[in-house]
Amino acid sequence: MAEKMVSVIIILILIIGAYFFFEGIQGYNNNNAQEDVEIQSTSGDLIREVPKEVNSGRIFVVTYSTKRTGNFAIIIEDSVSGGCKFPNGESEYKSVMLNTIQPIEVTAPSSGSCIFNGDYNFISEDEVEEIKEFGEQIVKIK
């Protein structure tokens, strides 16, 4: 009987933890809802979202997301020019994405605009798909 109670408590803790984790992601994205966001999609596979404008020196979020299901990984190689910096302090971002959403904080420079340009490809158990480009997106610094 005690083992069943411990199992129930562990399951409840996991459910509550998952709720707050996913609620945190939603809240994280909703905090930026006041900014105007431009969404660009490449072949409907992976979407990169960036705001159209940000204040100088501000940290903003670039979100990579997909609606694909199943077992896959996505190799992302993105770059930014104009003074914006990815979390590593560099203008290049290389990552393997294993989830359906990946928010990344980027730091804006004091003025100008930042241009994002990069590519990605999906890898599954069956194949390595061709590399696809995101296309160019511009974030104006105000």
- Flag whether pLDDT at 116 surpasses 50: yes
Q: Residue 111 contacts by C-beta under 8 Å, 6 or more apart in sequence?
A: 56, 141
Residue 7: pLDDT band by 50, 70, 90 thresholds?
A: low
- Flag whether pLDDT at 25 surpasses 70: no
pLDDT tens across 8-20, in order? 455 545 455 544 4
Give per-residue burial for 27-41: e unless 16+ CB within 10 Å, then b: eebeeeeebeeeeee
The mean pLDDT value of the chain amounts to 80
- Measure the CA dihedral 87/91/97/101, to 10°: 70
In which region does residue 61 sit, left (phi positive, over 0), alpha (psi from -120 to 50) or beta (all else)? beta
> What are the φ and ψ backbone dihedral angles of 7, each rounded to 5 degrees?
-60, -45
44 versus 58: the higher-pLDDT residue is 58
The closest of 139, 26, 24, 25 to 85, measured between CA atoms, is 139
For residue 103, what are the CA distances in angstroms to 1, 6, 11, 18, 129? Answer: 43, 35, 28, 17, 23
pLDDT tens across 58-106, in order? 999 999 999 988 899 999 999 999 999 999 999 999 999 999 999 999 9
Per-residue confidence (pLDDT) for residue 45, from 0 to 100? 84
Per-residue confidence (pLDDT) for residue 8, from 0 to 100? 47
